[in-house]
Chain A
Amino acid sequence: MRFTLGWLREFTPVEADPVALGELLSDLGLEVEDARVVGEVPEGVVVARVVEVRAHPDADRIRLVDVDAGDGRVLQVCCGASNMVADDLVALATVGTTMPDGLRIAARRMRGQESNGMLCSARELQLGDDHGGIMVLGTPATPGTPLAEALGLRPDVVVEVDVLPNRPDALSVLGVARDVAARLGLPFDSEVSPSVLQDGPLDGVDVTIEDPGLCGRFEVCVLDGVEVGPSPPWMAERLEAAGMRPINVVVDVSNYVMLELGQPSHTFDLARVPGGRLGVRRARPGERLVTLDGVDRELDSSDGVVVDGEDRVVALAGVMGGASTEIDGTSGSVLVEVAWWDPPSIAATSARLGLHSEASLRFKRGVDTAIGARALERIASLLVEHAGATVRPGVVRVEGDLPVPPVVALRPERVGAVLGESFDVPSIRSLLEPMGFSCAGEGDLLRVGVPTWRPDCSTEVDLVEEVGRMHGLSRLPRTIPVIAQAGGLSESQQRRRAIRRILLGRGCDEAMPLPFLAPGDLERCGLEPTGLALANPLVAEESILRTSLLPGLLGAVAYNAAHRADGVWLYEIGRVFEVGGGVLAATDSSVVASRVLDGEREHLAVVLAGEDAAAAVRLLEAVVEGVGVAPMVLTNRPLPGLHPGRSAEVDLAGVACGSVGEVHPDVLDRLGIAERVAWLQLDLGVVLSMPVPPRQALPVSRFPSTDVDLAFVVDDRIPAAAVGATVRSAGGDLVRRVRLFDVFRSDALGDQRRSLAFSVRFQADDRTLTDGEVAELRSRIIDEVTSTHDATLRG
């Protein structure tokens, strides 16, 4: 909502300090987006009469314009625009003028022709957005008159406020002024203008409301002899300041009153309304209307429409008029309509058609149910004054279902209980009444009548809010409630942070790709294309929810490699969404599952570009050791998207919860990644929820330990971890450490076989082991490994 300070001051005598006003409005919940001075015409800009327009001998795009600036001399000015003809009155910045953008006008030559000043567009003078050409005055003026004087311009401040969606009343100058006056205790809206309309039957006009739920009120008057010319400059200026383009006096008056009072109106060319009869109903399926913007629209049975005497649709109720009854330059009699439309109906039509007008904005939020008569009066009087119109006696007023403003019970005690500051009845009244609320009753209960312009107030807490707002929220006391609980992070939240610290400590940066994928992304990464699709994606590239962190992280590797950063190590912690399991939670509060979609999981994934699977396994061990979940089992197995010979499933405490290995070379190829990429992924939700009892410390043995090295030749398919586990279990409690220190392949060992060399450390807590004991353990381990794994002891 944009308006000028001068306009606001017509309703309340607020001081003209833009900064103070801005702070005041913001404190009232009318956040000021912008406040700037307009209508200041630089000194030296005068009205000039065009004498002749000639072509420039050496430049196609430049005109030579001879103007008379009032002193009788003819000045030649070069000009890039060509929208003026002889005898037009134009805006001339004379030599010596400083333009709003700081440019100083000097006499100069353009392509050899002299130019004594500059003809200005409205935008160059910051008098409007029109940059289509030179500003040509619509009203007579004497050449040489300062432009500001000729246009009747006075500097003003344009204020733009961000009106909250629950405050339709503030979509008008009147409404903003009401809040300002109430806060400052100023007089408000005290000027009474004489009435031009006369009650009584209106000749030649008839209105019927067929759908009273759609239309609460429909009021009509007729103005005869309307001359459709330009609006007076002050009105055009205010409209432009408000961001609306002046069209002609009829349209402009309608817009002006809408901005001023918040009541949109519609004007019909009476000659084009057969029989002067109008009706209000819902559209019928198949009906169409060409709206004022020239678009032929198909209507829906939920749309409200205005029809003429022949039941033809002439306007889309509350949203936009029809082209067939538009006022054009020739019309004489104008039918003016103001109505109150059912907000949800207007919102639905506006949304369905994607048609959002200043009128629909106000109607869908709720126009003052009682402002219609005043708006009609204001429109009529402005047209009488500025369009030479005469009022046809009589007014038609038809009512449908108009909401009745409620009377709300307000407990003064409740005001204090919510706001934290007590307000007695007199102070509550002094805050509410200036805004138009009426207060009756005393003591424990006030009965508050809500004004017709405040549809947002229907319950007690709405009034509490109004008391707080008018008092000033920033003036409330500030107290700190006692929190009788210890704050803290949960076990799993702390563990998530611990994992993050480990990854950071080992050099991984944290990535955060968008969680959306394009169709085909999952397949490209070797994964099943099972991602959930969005119903209303903005672009196809972001239309599918990820089921894995792999595509996003590989995308990041490729991006960095393309920017000459290879070898990046990245991790991500984020949600993935799998279809499997379906929907867990019901649609209401009866189930409070921790997730709605069973397949929504928190994953951790790491990509190590330039590293092989071994690096990922080492990182995995660090993470698992760091968080203390145990035991971990890796099972070699081909996994989707990963190198089939370099991938393993990760089991923690008996639960399958991740994968480790290397990304499949085909996947890397498809993504244009030239390096190997090691991969690690854990279902973090599972890992974080595993119980981790405090680790228990055992005494460290004071007795010497003995190391024995054993090398076994085993089939490639037997995992080293399995052999190691056998070594450990065969050695029993006295085995303190089993370390695989060498893996060796040779032709002599045979195809598909390799030697695994373990160093086994024995130690007892209570004695030094004898050579005999160690020998005994050694042979037990050899027997167990050779028999269990079809292994042979190497030399």
Chain B
Amino acid sequence: MSSAPDDPGSPLEELAALVADGVAEVAAVKRLDQLGELGGRLLGKRSRLSSIRAGLRDVSADERAELGAALHEARGRLEQAVEDRRRELARAETADRLARESLDLTEELGRGRIGHAHVITQTWERLEDVFVGMGFTVATGPEVETDWFNFEALNLPPSHPARSLWDTLYLRTDGLEGVDDEQLLLRTHTSPVQVRTMLRAVREGWGPPIHVVCPGRVYRRDTADATHLPVFHQIEMLVVDRHVTMADLAGTIEEFTKAYFGADLTSRLRPSYFPFTEPSAEVDISQPDGSWLEVGGCGMVHPNVLGACGLDPEEWSGFAFGFGIDRLAKIRHGIGDLREFVSNDVRFLEQL
């Protein structure tokens, strides 16, 4: 159906043939790069179309008008054909790529990597957040303590029988200047932070009033088993102000109970004994099954403790509430054996 170049016939006929041949060629192209090449051949500077256009100046004015219009139409049709084909091929190529690239995304499941905070940290932060929401700030202290802060300032003078309540780990002091034996120990509770906070407040003049919680790691001379660890964690709340009472303590614990454990649970106080508080009480939290869970101890800061911290017990009063973080983590997450906390087994850590 093509005319030989050496037998052009009339220019109009040739144009018609050019278009017909070009459209057929375009339709036969299978790839976009070939289409670009063909487009250049059909429509570029060195195409037959361009050379016919160049020959326009050699024809008569009448013919020129007719041929010009035919040229315009021929170029338009070829351009259209190329463009249509380009779209077609692009669509096909995209479809082809999409088909090639299709994935089973479920193959990727199980490969994501996110770290897991230790369940004690999770519980610790959660508790901090509850207390912060109640208006408390957070104070910490050293884990290596002196006998004075850990015991004596807390109304536990040397040889106080209640010292035996704590199985204390002491540090060897040879090689350390300025301390005697049995003076350096690993704190047995977070209560020394209370003493430090009160002393600092008095010395620095910013309190009382004092409203702090003291979370931290504590130590006890104990063998690790399912229910004991030599290292565990406590958090203690301390309020010191004028005219605070045991009723305030009970109310604050109740508020904490509802915020941390749930709005439908309640707390109760049972008399107890701690040398650093009087009156002292155990704190129980009601459970959905109607039983009571013992969570910690509390009481009114003992006048001797206030005195040791430079506060006049006739002017100031305070209350404290402390409990074990590990125990709450254990209960909340159904952990059977406390040794899991120090196993660092990723099969444990990554469940929580």
Which A positions have Cβ atoms within 8 angstroms of B? 26-29, 31, 164-167, 343-344, 347-348, 351, 364-365, 417-421, 459, 461-462, 464-465, 468-469, 473-474, 476-481, 483-490, 493, 497, 500, 503-516, 532-539, 542, 545, 555-556, 559-560, 563, 565, 568-571, 574-575, 577, 579, 582-583, 585-589, 592, 594-597, 600
Contacts and interface: CB of A to CB of B under 8 A. Distances in A.
Q: A418, A493, A532 — which one has the most chain B CB atoms within 10 A of its CB? A: A418
Given A477-B251, A504-B117, 19 more contacts: A29-B270, A29-B272, A348-B159, A420-B248, A461-B302, A465-B278, A479-B248, A480-B251, A481-B241, A481-B248, A489-B138, A497-B125, A510-B349, A512-B342, A515-B231, A539-B223, A560-B345, A565-B345, A583-B178
Sorted from nearest, which 3 A-B pairs have the closest CB atoms?
A420-B247, A420-B245, A29-B271
Contact of B171 (A488, A535, A595): A535
B50 interface: no
A588 B309 CA distance: 11
B152 to A, nearest CB: 8
Nearest to A477: B247
Contact of A164 (B120, B182, B217, B272): B272
Given A509-B349, A579-B175, A487 B135 contact: yes
Interface of B: 113-118, 120-121, 125, 128, 131-138, 141-149, 153, 159, 161-162, 164-165, 169-173, 175-184, 186, 195-196, 199-200, 203, 209, 211, 217, 221-224, 229-231, 239, 241, 243-248, 250-252, 254-255, 268-273, 278-282, 300, 302-303, 308-310, 317, 341-347, 349-350
A419 B245 contact: yes
B119 to A, nearest CB: 9
A555 B344 CA distance: 9
Nearest to A544: B172
A465 B209 contact: no
Contacts of A594: 141-142, 196
A661 B340 CA distance: 29
Contacts of A504: 114-117
B121 A483 contact: no
A589 B308 contact: yes
Contacts of A486: 135
B153 A589 contact: yes
B209 A484 contact: yes
A588 B186 CA distance: 16
A510 B121 contact: yes
Given A165-B165, A589-B308, A488 B132 contact: yes
A550 B9 CA distance: 93
A473 B146 contact: no
A503 to B, nearest CB: 6
A570 B244 CA distance: 45
B230 A538 contact: yes
A575 B13 CA distance: 95
A718 to B, nearest CB: 35
Contact of B230 (A165, A511, A542, A563): A542
Nearest to B309: A589
Nearest to B183: A587
B268 to A, nearest CB: 5
Given A538-B222, A589-B309, A511 B344 contact: yes
A516 B182 CA distance: 19
A487 B144 contact: no
A188 B282 CA distance: 28
A561 B171 CA distance: 34
Contacts of A167: 273
Nearest to A552: B344
Contacts of A348: 159
Given A534-B171, A538-B230, A587-B183, A559 B343 contact: yes
Contact of B148 (A483, A533, A588): A588
B121 A535 contact: no
Contacts of B169: 534-537
A343 B247 contact: no
A478 B283 CA distance: 14
17 contacts: A166-B273, A461-B300, A477-B247, A480-B255, A481-B251, A488-B132, A504-B117, A505-B115, A509-B349, A536-B169, A559-B343, A568-B346, A582-B177, A589-B308, A592-B199, A596-B142, A596-B145
A508 B115 contact: yes
Given A417-B243, A596-B144, A487 B121 contact: no
Contacts of A490: 137-138
A491 B161 CA distance: 41
Contacts of A479: 245, 247-248, 250-251
Contacts of A487: 131-137, 211
A417 B300 CA distance: 11
A418 B231 contact: no
Contact of A473 (B128, B269, B344): B269
Contacts of B224: 514
B161 A165 contact: yes
A537 B230 CA distance: 10
A505 B137 contact: no
Contacts of B268: 474
A565 B341 contact: no
A586 B179 CA distance: 8
A532 B61 CA distance: 110
Contacts of B179: 583, 587
Contacts of B203: 592
Contact of A489 (B132, B144, B309): B132
A459 B138 CA distance: 33
A28 B279 CA distance: 12
Given A343-B161, A575-B217, A509 B270 contact: no
Contacts of A556: 344
A768 B254 CA distance: 67
A473 B284 CA distance: 12
B254 A478 contact: yes
Contacts of A555: 344
A343 B161 CA distance: 9
A469 B142 contact: no
B45 to A, nearest CB: 32
Contacts of A489: 128, 132, 137-138
Given A347-B161, A504-B117, A594-B142, A533 B172 contact: yes
Contact of A579 (B128, B176, B308, B317): B176
Given A419-B245, A500-B121, A516-B230, A27 B148 contact: no
A582 B118 CA distance: 32
Contact of B146 (A351, A480, A587): A587
Contacts of B118: 509-512
A465 B279 contact: yes
B64 to A, nearest CB: 48
A573 to B, nearest CB: 8
Contacts of B248: 420, 479-481
B220 to A, nearest CB: 10
Contacts of B133: 487
Nearest to A539: B223
Given A418-B300, A487-B132, A575-B217, A563 B347 contact: yes
A310 to B, nearest CB: 34
Nearest to A568: B346
B271 A473 contact: yes
A510 B342 CA distance: 11
A31 B146 contact: no
A493 B138 contact: yes
Q: B114, B141, B142, B176 — which one has the most chain A CB atoms within 10 A of its CB? A: B142
B345 A589 contact: no
A509 B246 contact: no
Contacts of B170: 534-536
B221 A538 contact: yes
Contacts of A164: 271-273
Given A476-B246, A514-B342, A364 B172 contact: no
B161 A365 contact: yes
A582 B178 contact: yes
B115 to A, nearest CB: 4
